[in-house]
Structure 1
Amino acid sequence: MSYEFLALPPSRETELVVKAFFKITSAEGDVRKDFLLPDGLPSFFYLQSSQPIETIFGETGQPISLQNGFYVGYSNTLVEFMHAGMNIVGASIYPVYFKMIFDISPSEIINRFAPVRIEALQAVADLMNSERDTMTEIVNVFEQYVTQQLTNHPGNYDFETLYRKLIGPGGYTLGVEQLAESLGFSTRALNSWFKQHFGMSPKQFMKLVKFNQALKHIYERTADVKLSDIAHEVGYHDQSHFIRDFKSICGKTPKELLGTSNSLSNRFRLF
């Protein structure tokens, strides 16, 4: 299966909000099956495809059919999809900013793709239909929208600081009580706040951060590094526990995942 994948860094004006802009292109052909892994980043994107794309979140999820248009989506599990060719442009957003930008809580789109219509972004559809390379222009449209939304909806410094701490080195080792105390919240209030801004509980989000830290080590490891070394590096004392947690998130063991080098998930690594 052949994909063209391009990731572009955001400008200085939007780098605190946008992890990366991306473009995914797959030529028309027979229907193919592939998957993406949860990276803790909600996204918005414009899809262009001659046939609907069937997507399924998790092992027991219901199929969701995506037609041409704009979508927002977010997952904490494996996303499988069937397609016969597609062209996608979009951006991965840090979750703490998502509601400010789209006025949609991540909890409303967890493990689903939801269609959206945003007038300020309609120029993207026209640019996608152009025969020339318009990615730079598309990113400019996206960035103008994000910048305007940030002007209209200023962020919360405490939330931003907490998020950076969570995704930083060793952030996944923080306990729920520690997080609550650092914000002056009760654990109940912290759980409510996390579900609103992260789409899941603190425990679930920390498990996802831990998964992506492990994933990064797995993809970057050298021949002399064992999976048990990676398990210990991300805080597991028991390798079997590490593998169970890993599989509970993505449906695959680390070894099984390494055998899927041609998948889109192997290219789409923005964690």
Structure 2
Amino acid sequence: MDAYDEDSKAPHGPDGSDGARRAGALDGPGAPPGDRGDTAAGDPAGPEPEAAPRAGLAALSPRYRLVAGGALAVVAAVAAVHLGMVFLSLAPANTVSKRHGEAVQAWVYPEFEQNWKLFAPNPLQQNVAVQVRAQVRTEGGELRTTGWTDLSAQDGAAIDGNLLPSHTQQNELRRAWDFLGTTHGTDNRPVGVRGALSEQYVRRIVVLRLRRDEEIGRAGSVERVQVRSRTVNVPPPGWSREKVSTTPVFRVLPWWTVTGDETEAGAR
């Protein structure tokens, strides 16, 4: 039987310690908040965790949120319009494309024209090189004709060994020449408004390329340019019985006079 202290009348433990006093010390006002046995006293368990910092648009002020939201809405609207225009240019003739055909063509051509010849039943089997020469007015007033410059070979050299070639190096000149070929007759005359646009597009490209040539730049100002294509059939594999001619075929366009704005653009 446990012994009782006369003053506290509390039972003593087997080791002789005063259990009641020990309990009072733990529960008393001097005990640490986390060690007190009475958790119902309303003592907080600790400070509340801080809220996580805001990120993204939520971290901006209301004014900048409005500006960012407006910018995103404009980008989304332009992207939707662009996808719609490209879809209408590729889709079969319908009421919308017939009614707004001019607007669709003005948006898509020539920069966003789509080409599906890679997946056609008869894909391209020719190597086409676009070449240009120019008539340059020297400082002495003489008119000098340069040799032919292979612009396609320059693009090929820029792409060769380049893991991330630019869209300009891969497609600008090639698509411009395809655009011109489909809008010109066999007599190399433009057909309709798009034919004149294709000439202007190709002429601007070749003038910009010629202005980058240091030798031509030192010779003088470019006044006229002439463009031609050199087409060679891709030879069949050795195991094939197909026979094709590998003799180059040239398509030579007439001389074009370079306009003032094209010369200034090339100089810039």
TM range (shorter): under 0.3
Choose 1 or 2 for highest CA Rg.
Answer: 2
Alignment TM-score, normalising by the size of structure 1:
0.21
More strand by share: 1
Alignment TM-score, normalising by the size of structure 2:
0.21
